[in-house]
Structure 1
Amino acid sequence: MEILHSREQEQLTTFENNMKTIDPQKPVLVTGGSGYMASWIIKYLLDQGFTVHATVRSIHNRAKIQHLLDMEHRSAGTLKLFEADLLRENAFDKAMRGCELVIHTASPFRLTGVKDADEELIRPALQGVQNVFSSAYGSTTVKRIVLTSSIVALIGDTIEIADLPNKKVDENCWNTTSTISHQPYPFSKTIAEREAWTLSKQMDHFDLVVINPGLIFGPSLSKRIDSTSISLMIQILSGKFRTGVPKGAQAVVDVRDVAKAHIRAGFTPQASGRHLVAADLADFLDIARIIRKNYPNYPLPQKHVPKWLFKLIAPLLGYSRQFVERNIGYDFKFNNTYAVSDLNIRFTPFEKTVLDQVDQLANDQLIADKR
């Protein structure tokens, strides 16, 4: 399978002629290397012959890193793994040596089941940014940091979109309503990105480019199911929502497109600012309709649940009633034109994204194949 479109291949192979910022012969650091999206970034870089420094929590946990080792063996590139803790000062110093580009993806992603938001989400996200930037500041080589933020750093609750000047979310928006007690994950992404912009102004020998992805779907490079995106698809397929799903379309995007956007952000000299990387609007019922075409026997949802009913049972599913009131029943409207033009993105059709992911889950027997 061709890894990149021919146009993308041309851009990657013309780095040596056009690069004003990053030397493609130098290693690239990717933090959170074993993660769902970071693994795709590493794969694309390795397939193009890059040397990749990747940080992971433990280099001894083979279950979490084996897919990275396997992809290195199948590629033209070189992979070097380093242990790093988001909460530890100087944790990224060694991994960053010799790197001109740092892609910082590492940050906890959890929407439900959070018991201590400060310990599980806020501190790792914020101190992770601080420690990565501190290592970059002490480096003599780093020229650019690409930060994985999120669309939730742009807006808190979906209901707020109606109050925006153009009724759509774009890169000019900031989430000002999430707090540690209401929407702690969006709050963690917001304060981490704000901190990154503050630090980048103070440390002006490297620049910052930010990727703000929508809700990510698509196939995984590992068999892990602890990713929120993977577990959400498994829940849809398992029958958990067979009685119905809440109404409201979300901004969705393919994990492979998000990975490519990070690479583009790193190696496009003129790339700057924030980039809302989302392709389509879809709700859970749209996803179920796509799956049903190829997998008609799964216990998929066939209707929307009334908002009052979902609000009643929301705490049992890990959502607050305040969240339901402010997010369910409203379509997420967005403008992605800046990201498309600045990074020259071409998005994967969402139907392919969903079916590629479900095919993989079935083939890997992570869900029962009921065809």
Structure 2
Amino acid sequence: MLYLEVLVTGASGFIAAHVVQQLLQEGYQVRGTVRSLKNPLKVDPLKKLGEATDNRLELVEADLLDADCWTNAVDGCDYVIHTASPFPLSTPSDENEIIKPAVDGTLNVLKACAGKVKRVVLTSSCAAVGIYVNGPDESLSEKDWTDEKHPAAIAYVKSKKLAEKAAWDYQKGLNDEQQFELATINPSLVLGPILTQQGGSSIDLLKRFLSGKDIGLPRICMCICDVRDVARAHVVAMTLPEAAGNRHIVSTGPMWLSEVGGILKEEFGPQGYKPTTRTVPDFTVKIGSWFVSEMKTYKSLLGKYVNYDNTRMREVLKIEPRPLKETICDMGYSLIEEGKVAKSKKYKGKTSS
């Protein structure tokens, strides 16, 4: 059997590992890039995915900022799914430490794709679409772009917008011989079960909840989606004719942090965990913003409502989002089973419903 080959960049990432898994399950030959083949925490879980699917996974080393390495990485591939991008755990003093690798790395990959592949699917973010709306009756769509001058437009937000803009501009400027199709996936906050030991901000968020160390939560609303739905969106957008030339928001819906805590408390409270549902007064966040850089972002989001229109996800990509309770609880169990959160004495594990 002749398999179509797909390159997945940053294959050990939270989203990328699920993309790799779904591609393998659908019969594709997959080439995944990692920064180092000598890191067993990142490589071994991917190798297991390949071993379970006739060894159709090849892993190669590549660095986003090394333009030369991408020519060989892309060579022979029919499609490229570019997920690799810096996702900091803290805000750097110089925002270009995030923005430059995101933009330059994206362009390095796309330049290697020119004239070689049929389509590139780029992992962008709802951060590139917009930050919040005026109320529950409003939502942001694929037509929207984040204002870089917005008070909440931290370096990561800017990096996602500028990298996606750079991708569209580059693709549109190619001549006929160099042209490839482009589609972007714009997920909201991605939660769900983990497949590798890769870290990330969303993973740290759930770890903090389950640790029970926080005395309270800022009054912040977030849109959430399931990593399995995000991966599915990438796989579908790779070949669906209607996906070419379009952005695709992937979002289940909005939820306040206290509501996330409520779901975790209901599920994991009886199993020995103490996630908080308490919301702290706004003034404590405002005072904290004087001393902690991350608090400055929280301050600008206090009480703000956010929502994204997922019509294209449901009607074009034909993906019905999983319930948020399933997404959040599955991630909690995954973090415990994979050792990222310690098992309590009362832990019983997930029971079949």
Instruction: Determine the structure 1 residue equivalent to 2:103.
Output: 126
What do the CA deviations read for 1:43-91 (whole angstroms, capped 9, x no partner)?
1111222110111101122221110001111114511111111111222
Match of 2:337 among 363, 367, 370: 363
Match runs of 1:79-98 below 5 Å: 79-98=57-76
Q: Answer yes or no: is the 8 Å Cα contact 1:179–1:187 preserved in 2.
A: no
What is the root-mean-square deviation of aligned Cα atoms in Å? Answer: 2.2
Deviations 1:173-216 (A, max 9, x none): 00123489951100000100000000110125211100000000
Q: Does structure 1 conserve the Cα–Cα contact (< 8 Å) formed by 2:4 and 2:78?
A: yes
Give the 3 Å change call, closer, same or farther, for CA 75–180 of structure 1 in structure 2: farther
The question of whether the paired residues in 1 share the 8 Å contact of 2:265 and 2:274 is answered with: no
Q: CA deviation at 1:100?
A: 1.7
d(CA) in 2 for partners of 1:35, 1:307? 34
Q: Indicate the percent of aligned positions where both proteins have the same amino acid.
A: 33
Structure 1: any 5+ residue segments left out of the alignment?
1-15, 17-23
- The one-letter code sitting in structure 2 at the alignment partner of 1:336 is N
What is the correspondence of 1:96-107 to structure 2 with a 5 Å cutoff?
96-107=74-85
Partner Cα separation in structure 2 for residue 357 and residue 63 of structure 1: 19
Given residue 104 of structure 2, which amino acid in structure 1 is its aligned partner? Q
* Residue of structure 2 equivalent to 1:4: none
| 1:329 and 2:303 matched | yes
2:349 aligns with none
Partner AA of 1:136 in structure 2: C
- In 2, Cα distance between equivalents of 1:332 and 1:188: 20
2:34 aligns to what?
A: 56
- Superposition deviation, residue 128 in structure 1: 0.9
State the match for 1:290 in structure 2.
Answer: 263
Are 1:215 and 2:192 counterparts? no
Count of residue pairs the alignment pairs up: 339
Contact 1:178 1:187 in 2 (8 A): no
Q: Secondary structure at the match of 1:295?
A: helix
Letter in 1 for 2:120: I
User: d(CA) in 2 for partners of 1:240 and 1:265?
Assistant: 40
Decide whether the 8 Å contact of 1:279 with 1:347 is kept in 2. Answer: yes
Contact kept? 2:135, 2:305, Cα under 8 Å: no
1:86 and 1:316, CA in 2 relative to 1: closer, same or farther beyond 3 A? same
The one-letter code sitting in structure 1 at the alignment partner of 2:33 is: T
Shift of residue 30 of structure 1?
A: 0.5
2:161 to 190, 199, 203: 190
- Do residues 280 (structure 1) and 258 (structure 2) align? no
- The one of 250, 253, 263 aligned to 2:222: 250
Give the match for residue 353 of structure 1.
327
Counterpart residue type for residue 124 of structure 1 = P
Q: Who is 2:51 aligned against?
A: 73
Please give the alpha-carbon distance, in whole angstroms, between the structure 2 residues aligned to 1:91 and 1:69: 22
Determine which of 228, 231, 240 is the counterpart of 1:268: 240
TM-score (norm 2): 0.90
| TM-superposed deviation, 1:256 | 0.7
Which runs of 4 or more aligned residues in structure 1 lie more than 3 Å from their structure 2 counterparts after TM superposition? 178-182, 314-318
Task: Tell me how far apart the structure 1 counterparts of residues 259 and 54 of structure 2 sit (CA, whole Å).
Answer: 39
CA distance, structure 2, for counterparts of residue 178 and residue 368 of structure 1: 41
Offset of residue 250 of structure 1: 1.0
**1:335 aligned counterpart, secondary structure:** coil
Structure 1 residues 230 and 324, CA gap change in structure 2 (3 angstroms): closer
Deviation of the 1:314 alpha carbon: 3.5
SS of the aligned residue for 1:162 comes to: coil
Distance 2:274 2:303 in 1: 23
* Aligned counterparts of 1:345 and 1:167: Cα–Cα separation in 2: 22
Of residues 112, 119, 142, the one that matches 1:144 is 119
3-state SS, counterpart of residue 319 of structure 1: helix
For 2:317, give the aligned amino acid: L
Check the 8 A contact 1:314/1:320 in 2, yes or no.
Answer: yes
Is this contact kept in 2: 1:45–1:77, CA < 8 A? no
What is the CA–CA distance in structure 1 between the aligned matches of 2:237 and 2:170, rounded to whole Å?
A: 19
- In 1, Cα distance between equivalents of 2:25 and 2:295: 43
Of 146, 156, 172, 2:143 maps to: 172
Q: Deviations over 1:296-348 (max 9, x none)?
A: 13221122111111121235554243x33421111212211122211111211
- Give yes or no for contact 1:150–1:189 (8 Å, CA) kept in 2: yes
Amino acid of the structure 1 residue aligned with 2:200: S
Q: Measure, in 2, the Cα distance between the counterparts of 1:184 and 1:113.
A: 7
Check 1:106–1:341 CA distance in 2 against 1; reply closer, same or farther (3 A cut): same
Distance across 2 between alignment mates of 1:294 and 1:174: 37
Letter paired with 1:330: K
Contact 2:218-2:298 within 8 A present in 1 as well: no
Structure 1 SS opposite 2:248: strand
Shift of 1:162: 2.3
Contact 1:29 1:54 in 2 (8 A): yes
Q: Secondary structure at the match of 1:301?
A: coil
* Alignment correspondent of 1:26: 4
The amino acid of 2:321's aligned partner reads F
1:11 is aligned to: none
* 2:278 is the alignment partner of 1:303: yes
SS in 2 for 1:92: helix
SS at match of 1:233: helix
